[in-house]
Amino acid sequence: MLDILKKNKVWLSVGIIWLFHISAVIGITLGNLNWFIEKTPINLGLSFFLFLFIYPINNLKKVTALLLFFVGGMFAEWLGVNYQILFGEYKYGHNFGPKLDGVPYLIGAYWALLTFITASILDFTTLPYRVKIIGAAGLMVILDFFMEKSAPTFHFWTFSGGMPTFENYWTWLLVGILFQVVLKLFNIKGNQVFSLNLYLAQLCFFVYFYFYD
């Protein structure tokens, strides 16, 4: 039994990810918004756990990169939330779990997670490495774009004035490029199947709710 689980751990993880996201889409559509959205920390925490399980983050180089992206993401968001320096004027809601000076710990983990999986999606192509870096950062921005419309409804975060300005997306791209460059310098590659499915599950979820209204 353990051998079967080890051999199929990627597809089992992919199945769990899609199950959670599809269940949330159905549940929210049927009117159970609060129940499902309050479980956001569980969903993101599970995705992060599966990410650690599949890659895995099992040596000093990978741990260092993960910590850099976590701390870098937290610091960028801290500047944004407290000083409106990077992403505009916004604040986080209550559905991202515990916070450090207004910034949820999960958002730091999410920056790290997105950096790794978007890089992995493009790493297995024959594109030039500069295109891979910009393309991976672009995938991060695309996901953020579709998240923004639902974020206030889901009590993730709220921008002053309702929606973010171009500054938010431009900064996301620049920070994403910086993180992707660091990842390339570390020469870390992940699992393409897992990364692609996790990204698509989240993208499909937020695209659906982008057009849901």
Phi-psi region at 158: left, alpha or beta (left = phi > 0; alpha = psi -120 to 50)? beta
Specify the residue for token string 């393309």: 135
**Number of residues that make up the chain:** 213
- Any idea what DSSP says for residue 6? H
Tens digits of pLDDT across the chain (213 residues):
545 555 688 999 999 999 999 999 999 999 898 898 888 888 888 999 999 989 888 889 999 999 999 999 999 999 999 999 889 899 999 888 899 999 999 999 999 999 999 999 998 888 998 999 999 999 999 999 999 999 999 999 999 888 898 999 999 999 999 999 999 999 888 899 999 999 999 999 999 999 986
Residue 5: what pLDDT? 54
Residue 2: what pLDDT? 46
Helix (H, G, I), strand (E, B) or coil at 99: strand
Helix (H) or strand (E) holding 159: strand 157-159
Distance CA 109, CA 189 (A): 18
Q: Which domain holds residue 111?
A: 2-210
Distance CA 163, CA 120 (A): 30
Specify the number of domains making up the chain.
Answer: 1
